[in-house]
A and B are shown apart, each in its own frame.
Chain A
Amino acid sequence: MPFLIYALRRALQAVPVIILIMIGTFLLLKLAPGDTVDALVGDMGGADAEFIARLRAEYGLDQPVWVQLWRYMVKFASFDFGWSFVYEQPVAEVLLDRIGTTLMLMIASLFFAFTLGVALGAIAARKAYSLTDNLISTLGLVFYATPSFFLSLMMIVLFAVHLGWLPVAGIKTIAAFYTGWEHYVDVALHLVMPTAALSLIYLAFYLRLMRSSVLEVAELDYVRTARAKGAGEGRLMFHHIMRNALLPVVTLLGLQFSTLLGGSVVVESVFSLPGLGNLAYKSVIQRDMNTLLGIIFLSSVVVMTVNFLTDLLYARLDSRIELA
């Protein structure tokens, strides 16, 4: 029961943040040059002043700002992000079409970065200050400094252009009409380079944090006790050290998710994946503010959900945390 109450309380804490984000996106919309009616009229190729005024009244744009904000928030709360004048569809539908690809890329990248980062970090800490450690730590620094778009291009040169192992762009081979297993393999092959490009910088984060975390935990008394009782080095690592050393890394998992979503803008654009990030980039080029703000709001909701889940996971993993 205390776990449920904790979850509920934690969920309630998100409400003011969501409201602030709504107000923020509303402000951005107001700051942007032109409003919905300007876009509509531009779409129709011009209209007379009286008609424009009537349209404004119809959309509630003649109301005081507070009333507009309230209506805007009610609409957003029901995931109604308005109309996209570029895609001639409700924004919510455009987003729904693309969120799957982005989530797939996120999950694959996070999984790859997390497992490899944790493993490399643990190895580096295990052999602290040796050649292996120096090599891994240097690699981590270089990964951190490499922009994902640059890495993407260099991978394309090597793996797609010269070696011809991997497809250059897109999410599937369009002309092939694969079905069943072939389809999944095809999609997976298309996702290899984007996943690698996106996860490298996070791999560096996890690696560094895991290394220092393992070093810290390995000095604690209970580890010495376990060693004195004759636990082998392997068992010591997996059974005793790793469990506690992973805690700060799990926290980072949630915290980095919003940066990861931001990074997908660049990677999805390079590999022309039909996801939210690519959509965000196109919306900026095409001045589609409704879609852009919809993406901001939707991705914020995704980030909050992930943070919420990692918090719950953390509370489960670390029994020292008081739930009440």
Chain B
Amino acid sequence: MTLVDAADLPPEDSRLRVFWRRYRRNRAAVLGLILLGAVILMALVAGIYEPVDPLRRAGDPLARPFVDWATPLGTDQLGRDILAGILHGARISLMIGVVATSISITIGVAVGACAGYFGGWVDDVLMRVTEAFQTIPNFVLLLALVAILGSQIENIVLAIGIVSWTAPARLARAEFMSLRNREFVEAARNLGVGDASLIFREILPNALPPVVVYASVIMALAILLESALAFLGLGDPNYASWGNMIGQGRAVLRDSFYVALIPGLAIIFTVLSFSLLGEGLNEVLNPRQKKG
């Protein structure tokens, strides 16, 4: 075992450094971090590479990749620069991943915390609602919500949050149930601390690690859901989106399949980075869960 013993560490080591030391032991997780860094970099340079509009005509339609340096990855059938779309698409994907995950985790933790902390009929009612949401196929519900709310990007993000909160809710509930009668909570309760304060200040910080790990899964899921919506032409038409680019590429699949291939690889790498990141976080934050 190469477990770092707390006593062996110099005392001035910050928690962040301990965290990093444990994290980098998993090489796949480090690769995930590098991939994610690349995606973030893509999102950052998007404005420098194409400051005006990634959806504008940049050259002749269907120019092949690696031929003309004005459009390094080629153009689609409307002459739009694929590289510009990829870079700006990274922005949209990351934005959707982060915001939708925050919404989903907020709803999930709120529901799970109430169900796990109060128990009894509150738990019964909230768990039936969670089951109902789990039963409805999430992509079909997403379609219905987008049909009702409209395809603006804010509504899509909100809808993705609404269809993906059930797993964090179950996680948070399990954590709250196991923590609510622990000694430190009892102690605080006996000191006269109120319910709200017990939930947010005592239990929540201890219940969060598994939920944080799961956030990377939701992030990946949110990006996949948005790209599927955009692929079907139900995304926000005002923004460059990888899914939408693949949908456009479908029309010219026969002769120019690179139009669909390049954004597809971008999605795969991004989702892969979140999966690897999640595994690394899981090993650091929930060390008891997995030995192998």
Contacts and interface: CB of A to CB of B under 8 A. Distances in A.
Query: Bound pair: A and B?
Result: yes
Interface of A: 16-17, 20-21, 24, 28, 31-33, 128, 141-142, 144-150, 153-154, 156-157, 161, 212, 215, 255, 258-263, 265-266, 269-270, 277, 280-281, 283-284, 287, 289, 292-293, 295-296, 299-300, 303-304, 307
Contact of B136 (A33, A215, A258, A287): A258
A265 B143 contact: yes
Nearest to A211: B292
Interface string B224-254: 1001100110100000000100100110011
Contacts of B254: 157, 161
B131 interface: yes
B140 A280 contact: yes
A20 B234 contact: no
Nearest to A146: B268
Interface in B249-284: 249-250, 253-254, 257, 260-261, 264, 267-269, 271-272, 275-276
Given A262-B140, A266-B139, A154 B261 contact: yes
Contacts of A146: 264, 267-268
A128 B291 CA distance: 13
Q: Chain B contact residues: over half helix, strand or loop, or mixed?
A: helix
A24 B264 contact: no
A154 B137 contact: no
B221 to A, nearest CB: 9
Given A16-B128, A299-B140, A153 B271 contact: no
B132 interface: yes
Contact of B275 (A145, A157, A287): A145
Q: Chain A contact residues: over half helix, strand or loop, or mixed?
A: helix
Interface in B142-185: 142-148
Nearest to A307: B135
Nearest to B274: A145
Nearest to B131: A17
A149 B129 CA distance: 31
Nearest to A201: B224
B134 interface: yes
Q: How large is the interface on B (under 10, 10 to 19, 20 to 34, 35 or more residues)?
A: 35 or more
Contact of A141 (B128, B132, B224, B272): B272
B233 to A, nearest CB: 8
A307 B231 CA distance: 30
A260 B290 CA distance: 28
B30 interface: no
Contact of B144 (A128, A270, A293): A293
Contacts of B227: 147
B220 interface: yes
A20 B139 CA distance: 19
B147 A292 contact: yes
Given A153-B260, A266-B231, A284-B234, A259 B137 contact: yes
Nearest to B233: A285
A128 B140 CA distance: 38
B264 A128 contact: no
Given A258-B135, A284-B144, 13 more contacts: A17-B132, A20-B128, A145-B271, A147-B268, A149-B243, A150-B260, A212-B290, A215-B292, A258-B136, A258-B137, A262-B140, A265-B143, A266-B139
Contacts of A141: 272, 275-276
A53 B118 CA distance: 48
With most chain A CB atoms within 10 A of its CB, the pick from B135, B224, B261 is B135
A129 to B, nearest CB: 8
A198 to B, nearest CB: 12
Contact of A295 (B140, B145, B260, B267): B140
Contact of B140 (A16, A156, A212, A261): A261
A141 B142 CA distance: 25
Contacts of B138: 258-259, 262
